[in-house]
Chain A
C-alpha cells in the first residue's frame, strides 16, 4: 500500500522534472504574482494614464480648466525655450555618453587580465555609481571653485589657464559633463568587464593557438561577440543620461543664464513652479517619445542578449 503511493508520487515527480514545474498550471501562482501586478497597475499604469489625461487638459493656477485637445502638444512646437533646453540636454548627453563609452571600454579591455588589485579596483569603482547624485553636484561646486578650488589648482599648477567653470556657459556645461563621466564611466567599465569575462574563452584561445596576434583575435573574435552588449550598455546609459536632473539642480541650477538648463528640469519647473500641468505632461511625453525612439532604434541589435532570460 505504502509502496504503491510512493511510486505514484514518484511518477508525478518525474513528469514534473521532465517538463519543469513551469508547465504545470496551478492557481497558487496568482498568489505570488498578483501583489506585484496590482502594484504596477496602481502606481505605474494608473499615474501614466492620468498623465495622458492631464496632457489633454488645460490648467490655471493648478486647477483644471477644461479639455483642450491637442493644444498642449501643439504648443511644444512653438516653444523655443523647450527646444533650446532639449539641444542643451542632447549636447551634454552625447558628449558625456561618448566619453564614458570610450573610457569604459578601454579600461575594461585593459583590466581584463589576471592582475593584482583588480577586485579592489572593481570595488572602488562601484562607489561613484552609488554616490548620491545631488550630493556629488553639491560637492562639484567646491571642486570646480574658480579661485583655488582643487581642479583649477591642478590646472594652473601644470601651467594651464584658470578656467571659469561655473560662471561661463561652456565651463558649466563641461563641469556637468565631467561630473557625469566621473559617476557613470564605472557602469560601462563594470558591464563590459563582466561581459568580456563571460565570453566563451575556448574560442579566443583557439584563435591564439592559430597564431593570430592579441590585436587580431580581439578585432576578429572578441569585438564581434561583444557588440550586442556594447549596444545594450549604450542604450541603458543613454536612457538614464536623458533623465539628467540632479547634478544640474545641485551644481548650476541651469545657469549661467540657461546654459545648462536640461529638459527634465524644464518639465519639472513647468509643472511645479508654473503649475501648467497640461503643458508639463505633454513635454514629458515628448521626452518619452525620444527615449522610445532610441529603444526601438537599438532594440533589434540587442534583442538576443535577453533571449535566454524571459520566455
Chain B
C-alpha cells in the first residue's frame, strides 16, 4: 500500500530485507485466503453441475473431472427438460419475475423521481421514503393469510398474476431507494435547461431524467427480477397446479422419492441459473439496494 510505503522512513525498526519478506508472506497469506474463499463459494455450483452430467453410478467415489474420471452425459438434462411440469414451471417463473420486476420498476421509478425532485409536506419526503422501505422489515409470513384470503376473494389463487402483484409489492423498495439516489445525482441544470425550452414535467422526466439514470433502471429491474424469481413462501402458499414456479417444483421433492443426485443437479441449476446471471449483470448498485441506500457500493 502506498500509505505504508511513505511511512517507511519514520519506521526505524524494519530493515528493507525484513520488510520485503513480511510483505511476501502477507501476499502469500492473502492468496491462500482468496483461493479458499473462491473454492468455498464456487464448490456447491460445481457440485450441482457435476451431478447434472453424471450417470447415477458415477455419483460417489471422488470423480471430479469430466472426461478424465467419468464420462459426462446429457441424459439428465434431456429427461429433466422432458418433464412438462418443469417446462411449465420455467415459463411461470419467467412470467412472474419479468412481470413483477417491470411493475415494481414502473411504480418505483415514478415514486423515486417524485421523492428526489419535489418536496412533500404532509407526509414529508423522509416519512414517505421510510414508508416505502418498511416492506423490507415486515416479516412476510404475516402476509400469508391475508394474501391467501384476498387472492381467494378475487379468484387469483394459483395464477401468475397473483404472484406478479405480490412480488412487485415486496420488491418495490429496491427501485425506490436506488433510483431516488440516482435522480438526486442527476445535475438539476439539465432539467432546468429543458424547462427553459418549454418542455413539460412529464417530457423532462421521460426525455432528460430517465435516460440519465438508465444504468440504475437496468440494475433495479435485474435485482427485482432475481428476487422475484427466488421467492418461495408466497409461491408455495398461493399455487397448487397451474402457476407453480421453479422454487416450488423442487421443494420437498426428495422427501417423497429419496435423493436422485443427478436430478438435484439439473433442477437446482435450472432454478438458479437466471438469478445467477442477473447477479453477474447487476454488480453495481447491489450493495446500495441491499442496504436500503446506506452504502453506495
Contacts and interface: CB of A to CB of B under 8 A. Distances in A.
Interface residues of A, number: 113
A250 B115 CA distance: 40
Interface of A: 9-10, 13, 16-17, 20-26, 28-33, 35-37, 39-40, 43-44, 46-48, 50-51, 54, 107, 110-111, 113-115, 117, 121-136, 138-139, 141-143, 145, 147-148, 150, 153, 182, 186-187, 190-191, 193-195, 197-198, 204-205, 208-209, 211, 214, 229, 232-233, 236, 239, 242-243, 245-246, 249-250, 253, 264, 267-268, 271-272, 277, 280-281, 284-285, 287-288, 291-292, 295, 302, 305-306, 309-311
B92 interface: no
Interface of B: 1, 3-4, 6-7, 10-11, 27, 30, 33-34, 37-38, 40-45, 47-48, 51, 60-62, 106-108, 110-111, 113-115, 117-120, 124-126, 128-132, 134-150, 165-166, 168-169, 172, 176, 180-181, 188-189, 191-192, 195-196, 201-202, 205, 226, 229-230, 232-233, 236-237, 246-247, 250-255, 259, 261, 264-265, 267-268, 271-272, 275-276, 278-280, 282-283, 286-287, 290-297
Contact of B146 (A16, A50, A182, A272): A50
A244 B139 CA distance: 10
Contacts of A246: 232-233, 247
A291 B297 contact: no
B138 A48 contact: yes
A57 to B, nearest CB: 11
Contact of B145 (A138, A147, A250, A271): A271
A236 B33 CA distance: 26
B152 to A, nearest CB: 9
Nearest to B297: A194
B166 A288 contact: no
A186 B37 CA distance: 10
Given A125-B37, A229-B294, A243-B141, A135 B111 contact: no
A148 B58 CA distance: 12
B128 A205 contact: no
A245 B141 CA distance: 9
Query: Could you tell me the dominant secondary structure of chain A's interface residues?
Result: helix
A130 B279 CA distance: 6
